Amino acid sequence: MGMTISQKILAAHCGREQIETGELVNCKLDVVLGNDITAPVAIAEFEKLGLEKVYDPGMIVLVPDHFTPNKDIKSAQQSKVMREFARGQQIENYFEIGQMGIEHCLLPELGLVLPGDLAIGADSHTCTYGALGAFATGVGSTDMAAAMATGEAWFKVPESIKFVFSGKLPPWVSGKDLILRIIGDIGVDGARYMAMEFTGEVVRQLSMDNRFTMANMAIEAGGKNGIIAPDEITRAYVETRASRPYTFYESDPDADYFEIREYDVSDMEPLVAFPHQPENTRGVSEAGHVLLDQVVIGSCTNGRLEDLAIAAGLLKGKKVHSGLRTIIIPGTQNIYLEALRKGYIETFIEAGAVVSTPTCGPCLGGHMGILAQGEKALATTNRNFVGRMGHRDSEVYLSSPAVAAASAITGRITPPWEV
């Protein structure tokens, strides 16, 4: 029996030629990631082990991105813990304010995660890197501590679900809509501890930015990881970024899948996830008259250059509705600079939006756009749970940048073709 791409990567990292689903395997890691919320806990656990040095400072990446620029004293203390640990352990891949970005935008951009890698991060959206053909998954802070100490982690080899997308992608439909389609279909636990493998002619034609969006939200379906087999589009992205060797893996034709789901996207329209679950999806034309108080465009899901380009194209020469606030957050400093060069930032500001330095900020209810009681926000982020972006009695709706930008203009959830 053949193996899936996820099995092959795990097998290569545990020194085996063949592994079966359900096995427990101990694997060598390529990347260990932490942020300003999770890394301080991991650092405390690491220090409890009494070790003087991490296993390999080159494999560790520390990115203060959730509450930074620091919103209060507590978040400043958390960042200080990271900063001092990075200096003491000579961790080069620590990104201070001015260099940092939203972690899951930053690491691929810098070539720190590559095809064939096995990466763990103390953040659930580490699964984003599966877009590169890596096996990447989120872990707890104690697992991060153990990985910093040993360079290894154990895994239960997951079963895989294959999601095959065919047809012609309609205008305004993006990777965000494809992953919302899956989550709306199988639910937020439909792929619990499974590898979600995205394939088909539609996926093979997607840009890397759209692929990152799809892999990013695998966790919103309960997935252990999301993954796309690398191809020439992947190669074009990584070949100018990689500073070490990488490997392209693909699933065997006779690989065994828990399930195969097929979707024809030809008649799709952009989707909106209504409160309070990402699975609560509707077509944008069926959204009804939902008035908004805030629109957020950004996050590790949709804060890349292509996302900003779509938003700028819709906002050019227009004004955001006077009844709402529009917050736009580029994913990294480089994305911010490129958006500036292309005139997107000027477009946003002239339209009446505010543009932030890279930060997770409002996505997790951290800062830079918290919702008050009863307020409604449409966001290009990944979660819309109760109280996710602020007050428990607020509401968060999820969409693509196209729907978000159109809605910022009208003040209500709006299809992009209406503006």
CATH class, domain 5-262, is alpha beta
How remote is the C-alpha of 7 from its chain's centroid?
Answer: 22
Q: Phi/psi at 154 (nearest 5 deg)?
A: -100, 150
Please measure the distance between the N-terminal and C-terminal CA atoms of the chain and give it in whole angstroms: 52
Q: What is the pLDDT of residue 321?
A: 97
pLDDT in tens, 290-316: 999 999 999 999 999 999 999 999 999
pLDDT in tens, 212-228: 999 999 999 999 999 99
Does the structure show a pLDDT above 90 at 35?
Answer: yes
Q: What is the pLDDT of residue 221?
A: 97
Does the structure show a pLDDT above 90 at 1?
Answer: no
115: nearest Cα among 203, 33, 229, 216? 229
pLDDT in tens, 69-86: 999 999 999 999 999 999
Estimate the crossing angle of helix 208-216 against helix 175-186, to 10 degrees: 20
Mean pLDDT to the nearest integer, 384-401:
95
Q: What is the pLDDT of residue 258?
A: 97
Q: What is the pLDDT of residue 313?
A: 97
Q: Is residue 235 a contact partner of residue 242, using CB atoms and an 8 Å limit? A: no
Does the structure show a pLDDT above 90 at 359?
Answer: yes
Sequence length of the chain is 419
Q: Where in 30-84 does DSSP place strands (E)?
A: 31-35, 60-63
225: nearest Cα among 217, 237, 236, 234? 217
d(CA 89, CA 264) in angstroms, rounded, equals 50
pLDDT in tens, 124-170: 999 999 999 999 999 999 999 999 999 999 999 999 999 999 999 99
Percent of the chain scoring above 90 in pLDDT: 98
Q: In what order do the strands lie in the sheet with 31-35?
A: 60-63, 31-35, 118-121, 135-138
Q: Is residue 328 a contact partner of residue 308, using CB atoms and an 8 Å limit? A: yes
Q: What is the pLDDT of residue 263?
A: 97
- The domain ranges of the chain are 5-262, 272-418
Regarding the domain delimited by 272-418, which CATH topology (the fold level of the hierarchy) does it fall under? Aconitase; domain 3 (3.30.499)
Residue that has been written with the tokens 């352990």 in this structure: 89
Question: In angstroms, what CA-CA distances link 398 with 47, 166, 271, 335, 348?
Answer: 40, 24, 8, 22, 20
Estimate the crossing angle of helix 333-341 against helix 344-351, to 10 degrees: 80
